[in-house]
Homo-oligomer: A and B are copies of this chain.
Amino acid sequence: MEFSEKMQYYAALTEPMLRVQLDQFEAPSVLYDSMAYSLFAGGKRLRPMLCLAACEMCGGMPADALKAACALEMIHTYSLIHDDLPAMDDDDLRRGKPSNHKVFGEGNAILAGDGLLSLAMHLAAQTANAKVMQAITRGAMDMVSGQSMDLNSKCDAETLFKMHEKKTGALILASVLAGAHTAGVGAKEVAALTDFSMQYGLLFQITDDILDVTGTQEEMGKSIGKDSRDEKVTFVSVYGLDAAREQAKHAADAALKALDEFEGDSTFFRALIETTLDRKH
């Protein structure tokens, strides 16, 4: 299967399962609607894809990692809802649509996030795999640490890497490890995948920062309204565009190198790295 077909295959597995799992909640209507609004707001499903692909690369069946994949997407979604709140990043728009609290109010947005995190943990528990669960809960904790660093530090070049390692990298790592542990892997694979995830997370964040200044008009649409990123330290603001591109290339090379440790078919992940390096959105 071609890379783009494979991506669509993973997304096609994930999308209906997210709805099925959300329906486990039996939530009152406002809570259900607010969770569904953000969960089905056009996310790229990167974390489920990483989870399913890692499972397959390690010799497992992608379908076996679906609950973990859904849990990870829910954790990602809850973090965006809380991150957009006025007390946090204060963003009125998310993916071109009004952010959760603009539609449902702040109180309901806080609860939508709390509900998605709780449901994610309910799904994680259902995997009945201790290593998968620990990967997911550790990722959720580290992500909150990253959010806290972002909120409280006058972020400089020194703390920028550490902050993104936690804020973005932790959940990417959790996604890859949850998939790998579903398949069942040893210490050597875990070490290589940890290395890959950290480098890929860095690549993803740097290219995100680059896109923020080079994106087309359409892509910049997401920045209409308040976007506190304008005031924030980014890889581009600290190092400049050329050096940031160099760093992205370096992270991509390091991520590819980490994959050399694998005996299985890493074609998908290699294509993902190239695609991320060249991404236009």
Contact across chains for A145 and B107 when beta carbons are under 8 A apart: no
Contact across chains for B148 and A28 when beta carbons are under 8 A apart: yes
A52 CB to closest chain B CB, in angstroms? 21
Is A121 positioned at the interface, with any CB of B under 8 Å from its CB? yes
Question: CB-CB < 8 A to A28: which residues of B?
Answer: 145, 148-149, 152-153
Contact across chains for A114 and B145 when beta carbons are under 8 A apart: no
Main secondary structure of the interface of A (DSSP, over half): helix
Contact across chains for B147 and A111 when beta carbons are under 8 A apart: yes
Contact across chains for A88 and B115 when beta carbons are under 8 A apart: no
Task: State which of B26, B107, B149 has its C-beta within 8 Å of the C-beta of A151.
Answer: B107
Taking the full assembly, how many copies of this chain does it contain?
Answer: 2
**Residues 101-160 (chain A) with a chain B CB within 8 angstroms:** 105-111, 113-115, 117-119, 121-122, 124-126, 128, 130, 133-134, 136-138, 140-141, 143-145, 147-149, 151-153
In the complex with contacts A31-B144, A144-B115, A110-B108 CB distance below 8 A: no
Cα A78 to Cα B121 with chains together (Å):
15
Task: State which of B87, B143, B145 has its C-beta within 8 Å of the C-beta of A105.
Answer: B87
Contact across chains for A137 and B118 when beta carbons are under 8 A apart: yes
Give the interface size class of chain A.
35 or more
Nearest chain-B residue to A128 (Cβ)? Answer: B130
Cα A218 to Cα B114 with chains together (Å):
33
Nearest chain-B residue to A24 (Cβ)? Answer: B141
A28, A115, A140, A152, most chain B CB atoms within 10 A: A28
Contact across chains for B130 and A25 when beta carbons are under 8 A apart: no
Is A243 positioned at the interface, with any CB of B under 8 Å from its CB? no
Contact across chains for B144 and A122 when beta carbons are under 8 A apart: no
Is A172 positioned at the interface, with any CB of B under 8 Å from its CB? no
Contact across chains for A110 and B125 when beta carbons are under 8 A apart: no
Contact across chains for A134 and B122 when beta carbons are under 8 A apart: yes
Contact across chains for A122 and B108 when beta carbons are under 8 A apart: no
Question: CB-CB < 8 A to A87: which residues of B?
Answer: 105-107, 109-110
23 A–B contacts, CB within 8 A, in A order: A25-B141, A27-B141, A27-B145, A27-B148, A28-B145, A28-B153, A31-B148, A82-B110, A87-B106, A111-B151, A113-B114, A114-B114, A114-B117, A115-B144, A117-B121, A118-B137, A118-B141, A121-B121, A121-B124, A121-B137, A122-B134, A124-B125, A133-B133
Closest 4 pairs (CB-CB, A-B): A87-B106, A122-B137, A125-B133, A31-B148
Chain A residues within CB distance 8 Å of chain B: 25-28, 30-31, 78, 82, 85-88, 105-111, 113-115, 117-119, 121-122, 124-126, 128, 130, 133-134, 136-138, 140-141, 143-145, 147-149, 151-153
